[in-house]
């Protein structure tokens, strides 16, 4: 068996076409979805990510208020920027790009974002709503993973899901979402981590295996069963002198070996990555729809 590749770029493109149509309908009602972005400092990865978000907003007709701030900005100045966006009716969603410089208190900044504009889904109020199954903003990467599964025809209900990784950004929220009593959930979920004993014994039981450990080759072919669906969240740089940049990107899964046993698998890059920005835009449009009359 050789796995069918789950093309995250194509799924993201399909969703963006749907969202563009939604945004067009909103504009016809006088509502322009707006995303406020705050980037502190000049980290290359963060800058690249924010630039991609800006480009996506432009393509979809979403208003983008971009704020690129000095790395030495004070906590008070940054908090005021967030407050201004909270009070700006043109802004439906607020994104503060992480990580922030070490002298800034990330938790305080995220807590200051209006939960109704928290399109990253990181505010404790939205996390709480997610846990109890109430409507709210779902975190982008976990929600993107679920969309990849659903749109690839994978049955989640009743599946044995094993997640390797317990971060607040992927592992924990994804586990919570998959156990919910709704069409996107009803799975039986095991969360593994660095203290899990006999990891391979756990991963071999998975119908759906999600690798979010942040380490290359965490999942090898002997750790999966035939026919498993594999979602690789990892993005790791490994040295490769044959590449112009001197490195290549790989996931947490030994892709070439595991794809010979899996039924479906995501590549790195081109799998989960394109979905994260798409789900951010999804949340921004959803916020605009919930707040008629608050568009630009």
Catalytic-residue membership of 296:
no
Neighbouring residues of 84: CB distance < 8 A, sequence distance ≥ 6: none
Which residues, 6+ apart, have CB-to-CB distance to 155 below 8 Å? none
- Give the dihedral sign, CA 170/177/188/4: negative
The question of whether 117 is a catalytic residue gets the answer no
**Annotated catalytic, 147?**
no
The conformation of residue 58, written as its DSSP 8-state character, comes to: H
Cβ neighbour number for residue 231 with a 10 Å cutoff: 28
Give 245's contacts (C-beta < 8 A, 6+ positions apart): none
Q: In the structure encoding, which two tokens stand for residue 48, read together?
A: 């690249």
- Marked catalytic residue, from 53, 81, 117, 259: 53
Say which of 116, 118, 120, 207 is annotated catalytic: 120
Separation between Cα atoms, residue 219 and residue 258, nearest integer Å: 8
Active-site annotation holder among 81, 97, 147, 172: 97
- Determine contact, residues 210/246, Cβ cutoff 8 Å: no
Catalogue the active-site residues: 53, 97, 120
């Amino acid at each position: 068996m050789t796995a069918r590749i789950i093309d995250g770029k194509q799924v993201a493109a399909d969703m963006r076409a749907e969202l563009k149509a939604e945004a067009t309908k909103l504009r016809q009602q006088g509502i322009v979805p707006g995303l406020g972005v705050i980037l502190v400092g000049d980290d290359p990865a963060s800058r690249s990510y924010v630039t991609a978000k800006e480009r996506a907003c432009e393509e979809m007709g979403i208003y983008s208020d971009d704020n690129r701030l000095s790395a030495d900005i004070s906590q008070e100045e940054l908090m005021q920027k967030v407050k201004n966006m909270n009070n700006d009716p043109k802004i439906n969603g607020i994104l503060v790009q992480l990580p922030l410089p070490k002298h800034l208190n990330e938790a305080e900044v995220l807590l200051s974002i209006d939960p109704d504009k928290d399109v990253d889904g990181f505010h404790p109020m939205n996390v709480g709503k997610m846990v109890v199954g109430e409507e709210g903003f779902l975190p982008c990467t976990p929600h993107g993973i679920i969309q990849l599964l659903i749109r690839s025809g994978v049955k989640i209900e009743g599946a044995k899901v094993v997640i390797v990784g317990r971060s607040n950004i992927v592992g924990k929220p994804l586990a919570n979402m998959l156990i919910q009593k709704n069409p996107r959930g009803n799975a039986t979920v095991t969360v593994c981590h660095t203290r899990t004993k006999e990891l391979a014994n756990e991963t071999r039981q998975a119908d759906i295996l999600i690798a979010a450990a942040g380490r290359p080759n965490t999942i090898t072919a002997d750790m999966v069963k035939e026919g498993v669906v594999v979602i690789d969240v990892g993005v790791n740089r490994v040295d490769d002198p044959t590449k112009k940049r001197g490195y290549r990107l790989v996931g947490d899964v030994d892709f070439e070996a595991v794809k010979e046993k899996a039924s479906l698998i995501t590549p790195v890059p081109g799998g989960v990555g394109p979905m994260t920005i798409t789900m951010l835009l999804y949340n921004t449009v959803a916020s605009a729809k919930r707040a008629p009359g608050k568009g630009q």
